[in-house]
């Protein structure tokens, strides 16, 4: 007699979760607003033929109609619109018309979804995550849609890097295996071999497979070798070569790391780990020695090209490609945060054009954290409710465009202390008041950090008197003096600047 105790009892109240193949099927969407635009996008991603019926369209749907991504009937819904529809989605504010359309669909056995009217829906849209061929959907069965979004974000964040790419590449391998071994009788053999591969190799490593790796795996399948014996991509440790054999070359990897504001204690945990595991570190010239002391491998610093930053950048890019071609783990160490006036995106695009995708490790930006370390909050309730960051050394050495004066704004100007007199002239021309507090923040985060405070009228003379220690930045606005009242012991001021913190 069969033991039925092991059979699970069904839990009612759920939905039948399916991946519906909508390719080349016609999906009719009634409505032309933002909700309809979201439905259209989902249908297009499923390669459906999309027809929209609406008297007017929102800007997104106007764009899709102009690009011939959808067929648009510029009118209200008519019953014959259902004739060719495989699925119907209504996204209109007229609930009575939505109910009428839903009833027509049921008469025709056509599945229908009416936005925000659950009792009319044959199915619901779920909160989805898309990464190449991977689609993950979360449903709360219409009980807590907002919570479904949160759950989806948690699930997506837990996925290993490159999950979608790994799936696509396994799909390519699976197709090629079918081409060389198409017999239905060998289906179990194919499945078992691919199962071993998918269960054994880390997803991140499968994502890095290239065409040569796929060829190697295809050969291994043809020989029925254990997939665990095949070496994939660069994250496996290279095997020791036999005498007379050349070592196998691997593809290098690149990490773009922000060094923060100078103090090694303020590096992120990930940044410190990358510095420890690097084969070579390519560093900006201004990286503090305390940070470089954490590096155990070779450090290559940009050659000095006075007044020619592009040449120094080209030098680092050239060296980076050389090291990557040797299969090395390259850490590109940039001051502050790479994406805040650090040309980080330019480097990403450069290496991408050569077939390398960089991992990104952000760093503390001096634009916000530099003033903070020196006792200047860039925002303060009732004093400063906005922050604007500009560069004092734009492309071709141009001075910045100074924004109009706003009483409650903190203006942070990077890479401009050497041009302080010119900057002050621009501020005066823009009618910034002479009494406005100004600070020069120097070497923030380093043991010798210093702040020089004055006002717009006196800051140039003050800096000429006390000197300047690069690198530094300029902070303009009333937030400069929030924490520098004379009755408070100011541990952020160098002794040489005592008495200069007032805006008087």
Q: 226-252 b/e with 16+ CB inside 10 Å = b?
A: ebeebebbbeeeeeeeeeeeeeeebbb
Distance CA 408, CA 477 (A): 8
Task: For 187-198, write each residue's pLDDT tens digit.
Answer: 999 999 999 888
* Residue pair 193/224 in contact by the 8 Å Cβ criterion: yes
Task: For 300-335, write each residue's pLDDT tens digit.
Answer: 987 654 455 677 788 899 999 999 988 899 999 998
Distance CA 90, CA 167 (A): 34
- State the virtual CA torsion across 406, 490, 452, 455 in degrees, nearest 10: 40
Q: What's the pLDDT at 26?
A: 97
Q: What's the pLDDT at 304?
A: 53
* Residue pair 342/239 in contact by the 8 Å Cβ criterion: no
Between strands 359-361 and 253-258, the pairing is parallel
State the catalytic residue, choosing from 116, 215, 226, 461.
116
Distance CA 415, CA 476 (A): 14
| Strand partners of residue 388 | 411
Distance CA 71, CA 52 (A): 6
Distance CA 278, CA 254 (A): 9
Distance CA 250, CA 236 (A): 9
What are the per-10-residue average pLDDT scores of the chain (504 residues)? 80 89 95 94 95 96 96 97 96 94 95 90 90 91 87 88 89 93 92 89 83 88 85 44 41 90 90 93 88 92 60 86 91 93 91 90 93 92 94 81 94 92 95 95 84 93 86 93 58 41 36
The verdict on whether 199 is a catalytic residue reads no
Query: Six-digit token pair at 485?
Result: 């009242």
* Residue pair 30/51 in contact by the 8 Å Cβ criterion: no
Distance CA 412, CA 336 (A): 15
Of 428, 423, 399, 425, the C-alpha closest to 475 is 423
DSSP 36-76: HHHHHHHHHHTT-EEEEE-SS--HHHHHHHHTTSSEEE-S-
Its sign, for the CA torsion 477, 480, 485, 486, is: negative
- Lookup result for tokens 């491998």: 297
């Amino acid at each position: 007699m069969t033991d039925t105790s092991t059979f699970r009892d069904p839990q009612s109240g759920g939905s039948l979760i399916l991946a519906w193949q909508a390719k080349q099927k016609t999906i009719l969407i009634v409505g032309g607003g933002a909700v309809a635009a979201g439905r259209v996008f989902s249908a297009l991603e499923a390669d459906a033929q999309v027809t929209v019926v609406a008297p007017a369209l929102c800007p997104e749907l106007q764009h899709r109609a102009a690009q011939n991504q959808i067929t648009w009937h510029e009118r209200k819904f008519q019953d014959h619109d259902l004739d060719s529809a495989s699925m119907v989605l209504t996204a209109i504010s007229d609930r009575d018309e939505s109910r009428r359309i839903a009833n027509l669909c049921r008469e025709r056995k056509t599945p229908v979804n009416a936005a925000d009217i659950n009792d009319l829906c044959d199915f619901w849209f779920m909160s989805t995550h898309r990464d190449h061929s991977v689609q993950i959907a979360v449903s709360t069965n219409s009980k807590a849609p907002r919570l479904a979004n949160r759950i989806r974000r948690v699930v997506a964040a837990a996925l290993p890097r490159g999950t979608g790419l790994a799936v696509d590449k396994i799909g390519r391998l699976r197709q090629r295996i079918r081409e060389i071994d198409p017999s239905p009788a060998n289906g179990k053999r194919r499945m078992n071999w691919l199962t071993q591969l998918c269960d054994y190799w880390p997803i991140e490593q499968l994502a890095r497979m290239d065409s040569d790796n796929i060829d190697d795996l295809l050969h291994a399948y043809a020989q029925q070798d254990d997939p665990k014996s095949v070496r994939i991509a660069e994250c496996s440790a290279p095997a020791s070569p036999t005498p007379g054999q050349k070592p196998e070359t691997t593809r290098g990897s690149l990490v773009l790391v922000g060094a923060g504001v100078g103090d090694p204690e303020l590096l992120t945990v990930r940044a410190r780990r990358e510095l420890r595991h690097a084969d070579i570190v390519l560093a900006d010239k201004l990286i503090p020695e305390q940070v470089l002391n954490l590096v155990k491998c070779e450090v290559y610093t940009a050659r000095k090209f006075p007044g020619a930053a592009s040449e120094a950048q080209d030098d680092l890019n050239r060296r980076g490609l050389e090291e990557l071609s040797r299969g090395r783990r390259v850490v590109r160490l940039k001051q502050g945060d790479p994406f805040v006036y650090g040309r980080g995106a330019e480097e990403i695009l450069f290496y991408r054009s050569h077939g390398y995708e960089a991992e990104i490790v952000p760093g503390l930006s001096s634009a916000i954290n530099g003033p903070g370390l020196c006792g200047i909050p860039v925002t303060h309730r009732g004093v400063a409710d906005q922050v604007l960051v500009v560069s004092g050394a734009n492309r071709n050495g141009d001075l910045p465009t100074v924004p109009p004066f706003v009483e409650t704004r903190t203006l942070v100007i990077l890479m401009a202390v050497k041009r302080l007199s010119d900057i002050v002239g621009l501020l005066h021309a823009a009618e910034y008041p002479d009494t406005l507090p100004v600070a020069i923040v120097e070497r923030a985060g380093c043991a010798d950090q210093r702040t020089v405070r004055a006002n717009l009228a006196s800051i140039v003379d003050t800096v000429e008197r006390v000197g300047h220690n690069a690198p530094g930045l300029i902070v303009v606005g009333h937030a400069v003096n929030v924490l520098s009242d004379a009755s408070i012991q100011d541990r952020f001021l160098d002794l040489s600047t005592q008495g200069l913190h007032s805006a008087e």
